[in-house]
Amino acid sequence: MEDKKIVFIASECQPFFASGGLGDVIGSLPQKIASASEATVSVILPLYSKINPAWRNKLLYVGQMTVQLAWRKQYCGIFKYEAKDVTYYFLDNEYYFKRSNFYGYFDDGERFAFFAKAGLDAILYLNLKPNIVHCHDWQTGLVPVYRRTHYGDNPVFARTKFVFTIHNIEYQGIFANDWDVLEDTFGISRFDSHLLEYKGSINIMKGAMETSHIVTTVSPTYAKEILSPEYAHGLEYEVERVKHKLVGILNGIDKKFYSPSKDKALFVNYNSKSVENKVENKIELQKMLNLPVDKSIPLIGMVTRLVAHKGLDLVKGMIEELLIEKVQIVMLGTGDIHFEGYFKDLENKFGSKLRVIIAYNPDLSRKIYGASDIFLMPSKAEPCGLAQMIASRYGSIPIVRETGGLADSIKDFSGENGNGYTFAEYSSGALLSTLRRALNDYQNPDDWMKKVHTVMETDFGWTKSAKEYLKMYEQVLKQ
């Protein structure tokens, strides 16, 4: 990628602001692309009011422009921050981005239409002249659509290739199919409505898939799964249409950001050569959560959204039977109120074995990774999943269902290159059987420690995946 210019456009990025895996990816992948190639890499982001103040004060003002969105003419300030061979540009508009949350507002369609349009305008204003524009999820899905409808004859974009990555196909950016939304909100002519129309609605993800040169997903298995109605959330016909340009590349994690040897959230730091110190984290977490202190008790951790597709219905179906065993479980997350209520009620019944913390708490999540012996991810669907990789990094052996990125990243110990426990059938029985297999293995400390070493030394960094992205960029540029 010598002398090539790559621009990422996304709605989240660590360490500035993030609500999930997308933020981790955008915080890591551009830096790895920059270090693994001679490409010039930039990232365009919204300037949310929720940006960490420590970073807000480091931003440099670049300039401002006026963005035309349908009949609106909106101010857009541009700020930048440079780090690790990547330049981050932040697009400022308080009307759209001075909110208490990133998403979940009645005008999200207009907010991210503005961001998409402003992203393309910023590329022109900053004279970036990209070879690749890489967009992520529906919030940036209008970028390739606008390139087609508004910038088709612009010489800057004449040779630019647009890549669109689906991080989770469940969230598609679906809006009412009427002229007010299409023309008044998005500023797109009814003559171009076919780009966005899908099953009687306006579907931004469909538009992005239609107008991008390459569509990627965050794991190879997920790329295959979304061809079926079971996983495509209604978008299977469009996935079938674009399967000739569909590629699956497994996500990675930032090994420096997730490092048990340096993580300040842990009670005691350790690495694969001093893994015997890991147990001190279990003891301290037991004290912190008022669980019986016993280093010999296997501790199972879950850091998850408490929703059905994360496999919480499977957990609900077998947890009381599991809690009869010599075991402790710590669950952290928020989600559906009936799951929150059920597990909190269960905590009252099994107070010496179960702790359920209904919160989003990154510090506590790190403590759970560091303290737990086993990490549970029984998802019904998982585009990639990062928690199983992070848990492995911290020596917590993952138990996963064989789906999406879980199937691509974790292989059962019963086969070659095993680095965890897996099960295929989506049932509470299969989950419980796999858990009991792991708990039985835990009774052999020497063998268990070998397994801990294996998972900690599994490389889930970005090196391999970054090379696959660079290869894909090279291929699409030759088209």
Q: Greater confidence, 403 or 38?
A: 403
DSSP state letters, 318-346:
HHHHHTTSS-EEEEE--B-HHHHHHHHHH
**Dihedral of alpha carbons 222, 225, 230, 233, sign:** positive
CA 178 to chain centre: 32
pLDDT digits (tens, 9 = 90+) for 82-107: 998 999 999 999 999 999 999 999 99
pLDDT at 53: 87
pLDDT digits (tens, 9 = 90+) for 208-228: 999 999 999 999 999 999 999
**Is the confidence at residue 54, as pLDDT, over 90?**
no
| Cα–Cα dist 433/127, whole Å | 58
* % of the chain beyond a pLDDT of 70: 100
Six-digit token string for 128: 């970036």
The enclosing H or E element of 375 equals strand 374-377
DSSP state letters, 113-148:
HHHHHHHHHHHHHTT---SEEEEESGGGTHHHHHHH
* % of the chain beyond a pLDDT of 90: 92
**Is the confidence at residue 80, as pLDDT, over 90?**
yes
pLDDT at 1: 62
| Cα–Cα dist 344/334, whole Å | 11
pLDDT at 477: 94
CB 231 within 8 A of CB 220: no
221-252 in b/e form (b: 16+ CB < 10 A) is bbbebbeeeebbbbbbebbeebeebbbbbbbb
pLDDT at 19: 84
Spell out the domain ranges in the chain: 5-252+463-477, 275-456
Amino acid of residue 136: H
Q: Residue written as tokens 């998982």?
A: 382
Q: Give the residue from 422, 472, 373, 448 showing the smallest Cα distance to 164.
A: 472
Average of per-residue pLDDT across 254-269: 95
| Cα–Cα dist 401/51, whole Å | 35
**Is the confidence at residue 153, as pLDDT, over 90?**
no
**Is the confidence at residue 178, as pLDDT, over 90?**
no
Contacts 24+ apart (CB under 8 A), 271-275: 271/456, 272/395, 272/453, 272/456, 272/457, 275/395, 275/449, 275/452, 275/453, 275/456
pLDDT digits (tens, 9 = 90+) for 429-472: 999 999 999 999 999 999 999 999 999 999 999 999 999 999 99
3-state class of 255 per DSSP?
coil
pTM: 0.93
**Is the confidence at residue 2, as pLDDT, over 80?**
no
pLDDT at 179: 78
Assigned superfamily of 5-252+463-477: Glycogen Phosphorylase B; (3.40.50.2000)
pLDDT at 81: 97
Q: Greater confidence, 455 or 2?
A: 455
Domain 5-252+463-477 and domain 275-456, same fold? Reply is yes
Structural fold of domain 275-456: Rossmann fold (3.40.50)
pLDDT digits (tens, 9 = 90+) for 467-476: 999 999 999 9
